[in-house]
Chains A and B, each alone.
Chain A
């Protein structure tokens, strides 16, 4: 389709546009993730200076247990009702730190996984697919996703003198972890086959 042949290490290979696009997209997501992390850090610093500035910032899913940093909604004007709505300015310091730590944890996990994906995509482009590095990368992704699954399974917060604790089973994250570990096994098999092939003269 969009394949262009080029030569690397004396081997003619097809330049796969899909891989190139994936690599660019992954890098873009990586940059966006870093930007979100910086915004959050700036946000928590500013919260120390002026907590009331977040009077119109609402946690729309409250303390829902899920993978990710949660959704926030910034109201342009004061909402008609504040009942059952969690506004950041109403949170105590402990809950705020917990939510910040949780958000930074998921951002960190995202960054680590994205870096591993970049490594895998680069190796595939240079025809170094079935190598130990990729097996380690995939196992790391599986491990990070497993940790993220544990962290995603619960969330809590103190709001208006009432503790809210939520639990869930994060199927999607668990599946990512399982798929990564299975792929690591597939790559191990691939490495073995490649070694066998190279030993045939």
Chain B
């Protein structure tokens, strides 16, 4: 079982670049890149909220659970 981060998919749908998201959310590109590639060990509610606001999506669009 694994938590999949679909940030790149949502970003592609919204046609948003990593740099723009970084500026909108206020998180460094390095950290967003870690999150996008699934290397991050966790995500704070505040970060998730900011990303959802910037991308106009739900947390479920970004995170996915796979067995």
Contact = CB atoms under 8 A, between A and B. Distances in A.
Does B bind A? yes
Interface string A173-201: 00000000000000000000000100111
Interface size class of B (residues with CB under 8 A): 10 to 19
Interface string B38-67: 011111100100000000000000000000
Contacts, number: 21
Contacts of B35: 201
A200 to B, nearest CB: 4
Interface size class of A (residues with CB under 8 A): under 10
Contact of B47 (A196, A199, A201): A201
Interface in B20-44: 27, 31-32, 34-35, 39-44
B28 to A, nearest CB: 9
A100 B10 CA distance: 74
A139 to B, nearest CB: 27
Contacts of B42: 199-201
Contacts of B47: 201
A195 to B, nearest CB: 9
Contacts of B41: 196, 199-200
Nearest to A200: B42
Contacts of A200: 40-44
Nearest to B31: A201
Nearest to A195: B41
Contacts of B43: 200-201
Contacts of A201: 27, 31-32, 34-35, 40, 42-44, 47
Nearest to B40: A201
Interface in A143-201: 196, 199-201
A200 B42 CA distance: 4
Interface of A: 196, 199-201
A-B interface, 10 closest residue pairs, ranked by CB to CB distance from nearest? A200-B42, A199-B41, A201-B31, A201-B40, A201-B35, A201-B43, A201-B47, A199-B40, A200-B41, A196-B41
10 contacts: A199-B34, A199-B39, A199-B40, A199-B41, A200-B41, A200-B43, A201-B27, A201-B35, A201-B44, A201-B47
